[in-house]
Chains A and B, each alone.
Chain A
Amino acid sequence: MSNDNEQLDQAIARLVKHGMSRRGALKAIVASGMGAAVSPVVTQLAWGAEGPGGLPLARPDQPATLPMNGDPIADGLEPESGTFTVFNYEDYLYKATLDKFGEKYGVDVQITTFANMDQCITKLANKSVDVDVTEITPDRLTQAVAGKLLQPVNHSYIPNLQKNVWPTLHSPFYDQESRYTVPYTAYTTGIGWRSDKVSEDIAGMDNPWSIFWNAQDYEGLTGIINSPREAIGLAMLYRGNTDLNTEDPEVIGQALEDLQALVDICNPKVANTQYQTLPQASSWLHQAWSGDLLTGSMWYMPEGDSPDNLQYWTAPKGRTPVQNDCWAVPAASGKPVLAHLWMNFILEEENAYSNFINFTGYQPPINAINPKRLIDEGTIPKHLGTAVVEPDDLGAGSIQYMTLTAEGQRMWQDAYARFISGT
């Protein structure tokens, strides 16, 4: 081992003499493939530990505790007045639920939207929006905390977290002790298809992800989610790679090649409209989130078409990505008390249920909302029980898209850009 380190030090010293930084030298060695031969420690040094701002990169098996950026608000404060602004994706919150909150606390309410997480972080970082509470995904949480965009929460305002939410999410791995977030929805990524158009038995295949690579018959009627992580992740899962936070250029390169091959095979669209296009049958086979199928079956089926034609499959735990979106309070929030009260409000069983059933279709991680009950009642079609998320699906042993290093994020982004450009 010490022999390896000596070799490593020599190599690094040589590169540094030629003007590289020490970090850059480590990276170059790893990229050249020699590093792994020298020492596995090298890989971790160069890639593993450094997240944004030096914070640790959380993984389901490696929980991380985020540092406190200042103190949370004091206990027992009065809610503010005025207009309460929620920062969220478009069409991801039931307006009636938000209006109900506004009535309860006597404030006006509005939603400001962002198209994707990049926009969310950028707008918060540039202070170009004035919002009081924001939706956020765990893979951006580290960045947001490192950049001091969020303030810690005071749990005396949010008793519903302990009372109603799945135990696995009380102190999630990405935010131990829930210092900054409370969960909002939980979902898996899988394959959505129309059983009346696609003849294969996807769920029964050995490698269901491979359906895309055998979809010549469905040219132009397939689709992939337009997110760098999801698209490349799909190709990685096809090959059986379950480390979806990898920064190994070879794995990413292989995934890119597979995706490029996909263009020739079935010419997929790259979009995020599957919750509409599957019901409308303008798309027959689409990578989808579990919530999309529920939304689609409940709200977007045309007359004469039955939700029985929609199917969803996802792999067992550890072989498919799960994700849970969260709420957090921006550091610059003008109404932090209301933000806390909102977080408590949305975790109230009836509000979460109403939001889920009446609008979003994305399941909230609430104990009392037992999807088995919903299936028995007939609210969720039985064959879409695969779109239901269980508490056990999260936590250790699962895979979840999480924060990458800056270099890693660029690699994924570049690979995705190459796929998108059909090169």
Chain B
Amino acid sequence: MYPRWLWQLCALPGVVWLLLLFVVPFYAVIGVAFGDLDPIFQNPIPIWNPLDWNFENAFETLSRFTPGQPYWSVFARTTIYIVFAVGISLLIAYPVAYYISRHARRTKTLLLVLLVLPFWISYLMRMLAWVGLLAPDGFVNQFLISTHIDTDPPNWLGGHAGTVVFALVYGYIPYMILPLVAALDRIDQNLIEAARDLGLNSYQAFFRVTFPLSRMGILGGCVIITLPMFGDYYTTQIVSGSPRTTMLGNQIYLYFHGGPQPDVGAMMTLVLSIFLGILMAYYLYSVARAQRALQ
């Protein structure tokens, strides 16, 4: 009934918009990363023709990511923070997701609502909350002192890796729980009952049936929070502000807003995108492989 061209026409404005404001900007990043610098202003002059691209500066920036060079430690530090943050998030998220999807019956809707709630509270508000709580005279220290757990608590906001990882976990864990809930929801209860019938106790049933079946969900959850964490620059600025805890995103921000080398910033953004692209590609490949395995 509908003419063939109708749906393509519908999609056209959206596709054009995304091409102009998503794809072209990305090309602009490449153009600046491989471009020249204005000698007077040190502004980048982007080069659009791929044949004219200037790779010298780009490769020099790239070489600084190798161990021993300036950007390596920031990159390594960022990776370590993220590994810890994702690991801790997983440790917390999995039991919660497991309970909600498999056991909560009467309270399931309420729990789902509470779960989704942090999505709709701005990240900044959630961080501001901890700035108040972790202040030297804030509730956390008041609690620690009054219960004599620690009568001289450290200045949590003074520039500690632990605080940054904690804030990252707090900020991103909601994004991990929902995919986990969805993945665990999908596991057929019959499989588990079958395992129990075959003589496995509850722990064995979990580790040999449920956990392997939820692997895709775990991978998905991890990927969903790893990608944005690599680009995060504001969390560490809010809860720390110290050079000891700067992340890759801070370096990129610095080169764009703090000085005369936007081409380095563009190159770093490019490296970050490619790195994340590889991660994403791996994830999609695993999903595709898992889907094929199911068929």
Contacts and interface: CB of A to CB of B under 8 A. Distances in A.
A221 B241 CA distance: 11
Nearest to B251: A421
A66 to B, nearest CB: 14
Contacts of B154: 220
15 contacts: A125-B41, A125-B43, A126-B43, A219-B158, A220-B155, A220-B159, A267-B158, A267-B242, A269-B159, A282-B135, A406-B260, A409-B42, A410-B261, A413-B260, A421-B70
Contacts of B250: 420-421
A53 interface: yes
A146 B77 CA distance: 41
A267 B39 CA distance: 36
B235 interface: no
Interface string B36-67: 00111111000000000000000000000000
Determine the main DSSP class of A at the interface with B. Answer: helix
Of B77, B246, B260, B261, the most chain A CB neighbours within 10 A belong to B260
A53 B158 contact: no
B242 A263 contact: yes
A121 B259 contact: no
Interface of A: 52-53, 115-116, 118-119, 121-122, 125-126, 143, 146-147, 219-221, 226, 228, 263, 267-271, 282, 406, 409-410, 413-414, 416-423
Given A118-B259, A118-B260, A125-B38, 16 more contacts: A52-B41, A115-B257, A116-B257, A125-B41, A147-B41, A219-B155, A220-B155, A220-B242, A228-B259, A269-B159, A416-B259, A417-B259, A420-B243, A420-B246, A421-B251, A423-B72
Contacts of B261: 410, 413-414
Contacts of A270: 241-243
B74 interface: yes
Interface string B247-270: 000110011011111000000000
A200 B72 CA distance: 38
Interface string B160-174: 000000000000000
Contacts of A122: 41, 43
B244 interface: yes
Contacts of B77: 422
A218 to B, nearest CB: 10
A228 B258 contact: yes
B157 interface: yes
B245 interface: yes
B73 A263 contact: no
Contact of A422 (B155, B158, B244, B259): B244
Contact of A423 (B74, B157, B242): B74
Nearest to A52: B40
B99 interface: no
B251 A417 contact: yes
A420 to B, nearest CB: 5
A230 B158 CA distance: 22
Contacts of A219: 155, 158
Given A52-B39, A126-B43, A421-B71, A268 B260 contact: no
Contacts of A53: 39-40
Contacts of A267: 158-159, 242, 244
B73 A423 contact: yes
B156 to A, nearest CB: 9
Contact of A221 (B40, B74, B158): B158
A414 B40 contact: no
A263 B246 CA distance: 12
Of B41, B154, B258, B259, the most chain A CB neighbours within 10 A belong to B41
Contacts of A221: 155, 158
B168 to A, nearest CB: 17
Q: Which 6 A-B pairs have the closest CB atoms?
A: A220-B158, A422-B243, A423-B73, A413-B259, A269-B241, A421-B74
Interface string B62-105: 00000000111110010000000000000000000000000000
Of B77, B155, B259, the most chain A CB neighbours within 10 A belong to B259
Nearest to B247: A421
Interface string B109-141: 000000000000000000000000001100000
B247 to A, nearest CB: 9
B258 A421 contact: no
Interface in B187-203: none
A423 B70 contact: yes
Contacts of A271: 241
Contacts of A115: 257
A282 B72 CA distance: 32
B73 A421 contact: yes
A42 to B, nearest CB: 22
Interface in B6-54: 38-43
B246 A414 contact: no
Contacts of B242: 220, 263, 267-270, 422
Given A125-B43, A417-B70, A422 B260 contact: no
Nearest to B41: A125
A360 B39 CA distance: 35
Contacts of B43: 122, 125-126
